[in-house]
Amino acid sequence: MCNEARKRLRRIKGRVIEILDTSYKLLAYLYQEHVIGEIDYHNLRNESEMTNRNAMLMDIIMRGSERGFACFCDCLSSDVNQAYLVPCLQRGIQSIVYGCTHYVNYTTFSML
């Protein structure tokens, strides 16, 4: 992943950690696509605290490749409840405030 993309993700990491749903489907897909390794997969699955699991996953994604980030975004876009995060992740914090508001209801937006 390029430095500019890492900077964008770093700016919004805290907000994403709060709202991301790291379901086992997401983790299984990322493992299947070799975005996360076996040890990381088991560590993520065994982490009971959602925010800790989200933080761990975001760290892995940020250290990874462009392909890994694309797989992560593909999986999120296939989930109707998380698809709005994809443009936010791709563009950074400005898009969370301005570009993604039409994807979320006011309650979710106010949490950001």
- CATH number of the domain that 107 lies in? 1.10.533.10
- Domains in the chain, number: 1
Share above pLDDT 90 across residues of the chain, in percent, rounded to a whole number: 42
Question: What range does the domain containing 32 cover?
Answer: 3-111
What DSSP state is assigned to residue 99?
A: I
| Spatial distance between the Cα atoms of 42 and 111, rounded to a whole number of angstroms | 30
**pLDDT at site 71:** 92
Query: Identity (one letter) of the amino acid at 83?
Result: A
Task: Tell me the percentage of the chain whose pLDDT exceeds 70.
Answer: 81
Contacts of 109 (CB under 8 A, 6+ apart): 101
User: What is the reported pTM?
Assistant: 0.76
The residue-averaged pLDDT of 92-97 equals 48
Confidence band for 24, pLDDT divided at 50, 70 and 90? confident
